[in-house]
Structure formats: C-alpha cells, structure tokens
Amino acid sequence: MKIFRLILFIAHLVLLFLLIGVLLNAYVPPKIFPWFNLLSLGFPVLIIGYILLTFFWIFSWKKRAFAFMFLGLFFLNPVKRWVNYSVDKKETANLKVITFNMMGGKLGYDKIKEYIDQQNPDLVFLQENSYHNFQFKNLSGDNNLPVIAFYSKYKIRNRKNLFENLNDEDVTAQCEVVDLEIKGKIYRVINAHLGSFGFVKSTVKLNGESKEDEQKVKDIVKKLIPTFKMHQEQVAIIRKSIDESPYPVILAGDFNSVPNSYEYYHLGKGLNDAFFEVGKGSGTSFHDYKYPLRIDFIFTSPSIKPVTYKVDRSVKLSDHFPVISTFKLD
C-alpha cells in the first residue's frame, strides 16, 4: 500500500508541475518554449486528475491533502475559463453580439441566415465564411475577405484588414478591425480567425493500433508546434491594434486556441472574457471531437459590461456552436 501511495504522490506532483506549466503561457511565448502551450490543450484532463488525487488524500486522512487543496486554489480561475457558474447580472443589456464559425456554410447558408435573423443581433462576427454575402434583416456589411465577415446594425466609420501584411503562408489567418459609431460613440470591433491547424477528424482519432496511433500523435504535434509559433505573430499584430485603440474594444472570433493558452492570455490582457464574467456551465464551442474545446471567444474593454453569455447548443449549423453574448454600453 505504501508503494501504491508513493506512486500516486509522485503522479500528483507531476500533475501539479504540468498545471503550473499551463499558467506559464502568460509569460513564455511559443517561439521560446511551445510545450507550455501544448499543455493548455490538456488542461481539462490534468485538472480532473489533480482533483481526483486530492480527494484520494482527503479520504485517506493524509495531511498532504491540505497542501494540494491550497495549491489547487491557484487553478480556480483557469478552471472557470472552461466551466463557469456566474450569478445573473441585474443590468439591462443594450447590445447583442454573435460570433460563429460557419464551417464554410457546408450545412446550409439559408439555415444560418434564418438562425441569425431570428436572434436579431446588433453585431455579427463570422468566420470561415467563404466569401458568402448574406442579406440579413437590419444588418449591413461588406464581405471582402475570404475567411471572415462582419455585419452590424450600426454605422461603420472605418475598416482595415489587419493581417494584410502578415508574413506567413497561413491563408486561414484573417483579422479585420472595424470602427463603429454606436449611439454617438465610437467602438473598435475586431473579428479574428487565427490560423487553423488543418486537422480533420480522421487525423486525430486513435484506433488502438500502437504504431499507427504513435505516428498520428507525432503528426499532430508536428502541426501544433509551428501553428503555435505563427499564432504568436498574429497575436502580436492584434495586440498592437488593441493597445493603440483610442476607443473601447470588442474582440471576438475563432482563436483556434483554448483558455489558458498563450493566445488567450495575451489577447485577453486588459479585456474582460465575457464567458468568465457571466457564463454558465461549459464554454465548449467546438463540438466535432469528443473533447472539450472552447476556441470561440468574446472579449471586451472594461467599460463594456457583459450581461449574458450563451453557447447555443440547440442548433448544429457547423462544427462550432454559435456564441451569443449581451452587453450594457455606458
């Protein structure tokens, strides 16, 4: 029994150090050490293992349980970025936002249009739009980029392709900055689609054949690491636009990265994550794999107060669920 507990104790310490590695994404960029960003993908598994072992020590009446419980408090906010239970806000919302990766409209452009019209949003951020021009009710927008599109009820004062001079070969990376006039005040909205990893389900599904599965894992890592490094460049460009903005910012889109990743920490710096503030339940927005992946986000400047946040799992119009959030503007 002592040997068994020793093995569990060592395993618990390993999980602790791996979880600390996830937190280091706030400080260590992928071009220096990409493996911390890789750990962010495994955060749900790591934290579940950590919690189960902590309960084991509690039920075993071991003093070390208190140490692991205390250290576990450092991961409370990282957990809330995946699964959250917020109290209802009393503010009355006056802005409704939808961000949605359409998967190229493969499940039907008409259904997507009907859904968005029913929601009656004020702002719509679309990704993987494939140059499709929608004619939404009460919304207008010019679709001049192949991957992203933005529609609004409000007057567009200025718009710019932020990745126009991006020096990489990833054509899936797109970002547009739009300055909007809303009720006499200017806001800067940023619609982002960070570079895709290019996975399809067959490339990540393990089938129990050791050699074949091992090769699949190697191939996955070979795609992940270079994409993390390209994301670092994309994040820097978006971050500069946020930092230099004279207006309050709404940043939304498909980041192709998860909470507690380098991308999450650096894009969200100084902004509020709407899910973290008002979300309830799981934030998982990509549902094509049987694994919790929250990769669609809405961030706002502190002056833009989140009121509600919803991942709409009632519809399957893509391999992503639509993300809908409401806000109170001053």
229-260 pLDDT, tens digit each: 999 999 999 999 999 999 999 999 999 999 99
> Average pLDDT for residues 63-83, to the nearest whole number?
94
Six token digits for residue 23: 């937190």
First to last CA, the chain: 61
- Cα separation, 15 vs 45, in Å, equals 10
Among 314, 139, 288, smallest CA distance to 201 is for 288
Q: Rounded to two decimals, what is the model's pTM?
A: 0.92
Say what the pLDDT of residue 164 is.
84
Say what the pLDDT of residue 76 is.
96
* Beta carbons of 88 and 63 less than 8 angstroms apart: no
Share of the chain above pLDDT 70, in %: 92
Q: Which pLDDT band holds residue 199 (cuts at 50, 70, 90)?
A: low
Say what the pLDDT of residue 198 is.
67
pLDDT over 90 (residue 100): yes
- Cα separation, 32 vs 44, in Å, equals 24
Length of the chain: 330
15-52 pLDDT, tens digit each: 999 999 999 999 999 999 999 999 999 999 999 999 99
Say what the pLDDT of residue 323 is.
98
Among 283, 135, 190, 168, smallest CA distance to 234 is for 168
Among 93, 73, 91, 75, smallest CA distance to 83 is for 75
Superfamily of domain 89-328: Endonuclease/exonuclease/phosphatase (3.60.10.10)
- C-beta neighbour count of 264 within 10 angstroms: 25
107-165 pLDDT, tens digit each: 999 999 999 999 999 999 999 988 788 999 889 887 778 899 999 999 999 999 999 87
160-183 pLDDT, tens digit each: 999 987 766 667 899 999 999 998
Say what the pLDDT of residue 243 is.
97
Q: Which pLDDT band holds residue 4 (cuts at 50, 70, 90)?
A: confident
Say whether 1 sits in a helix, a strand or coil: coil
Element (H, E) at 13: helix 2-23
- Cα separation, 166 vs 145, in Å, equals 14
Say what the pLDDT of residue 204 is.
54
Domain borders along the chain are 2-80, 89-328
Amino acid at 272: N
Say whether 179 sits in a helix, a strand or coil: strand
Share of the chain above pLDDT 90, in %: 73
